[in-house]
Amino acid sequence: MYNQTNNKKLQATSYKLQAKNGFGLIEILVASAILSASLVTLTASSQIAFRLMKESLERTQAGFLVEEGVEVTRILRDDAWSLNIAPVPTGVEMYFVFASSTNTWTLESAAPPLIENLFTRRVVFDDVYRRDSDGEIIDEGSLDPKTLDPDTRKATIEVLWGDGRNVTFETYIANIFQN
């Protein structure tokens, strides 16, 4: 009898050990699943963060290129309105080109190579009309009596890149030096 009791005690202890080992294996599987899910989430979050940083950098660069386009337009105006701004046809896309040999900017109708292998910068000039009664700038389609102002142009500078992304800035530029 003593032998059977010891044998039963041994069997019960053996089942307890096997049950504990089984739960350990389940705990390891659950911990591995949680760790894997955490790593996948961290990787996906990192990829999203890097994409957003790249897009932010590109938008910042485009903003600087638009600002430079405004400054180039002013330089062209200051150098000679009658040679650089006045003869440019309205509504036609023009591109800024820098000649490093002469350190001068020009406007050309042919698109130059991409800036930083990514960006295209262009400018479009439009006519400006002024209301006859008070000289305020008005839309060309306005029914008010108006007159074309030959010494003011509307400049729309646009930087394009990627799949349709762009930054646009509109300003008026005037022949302040009467040149």
CB 97 within 8 A of CB 121: no
Its pTM stands at 0.78
Task: State the amino acid at position 4 in one-letter form.
Answer: Q
CB 171 within 8 A of CB 66: no
Rg (CA), the chain: 36
d(CA 120, CA 139) in angstroms, rounded, equals 28
pLDDT digits (tens, 9 = 90+) for 103-138: 999 999 999 999 999 999 999 999 999 999 999 999
Residue-averaged pLDDT of the chain: 91
d(CA 27, CA 5) in angstroms, rounded, equals 33
pLDDT digits (tens, 9 = 90+) for 31-48: 999 999 999 999 999 999
**Cβ-based burial of 153 (10 A; exposed 0-12, middle 13-18, buried ≥19):** buried
Q: Which two tokens stand for residue 79?
A: 């150098």
Look up residue 113 and give its DSSP letter.
P
User: Is pLDDT above 60 for 67?
Assistant: yes
User: Is pLDDT above 70 for 85?
Assistant: yes
d(CA 165, CA 62) in angstroms, rounded, equals 10
Considering the chain, what percentage of its residues have pLDDT values greater than 90?
83
CB 95 within 8 A of CB 122: yes
Which residues have C-beta within 8 Å of that of residue 80, sequence separation ≥ 6? 179
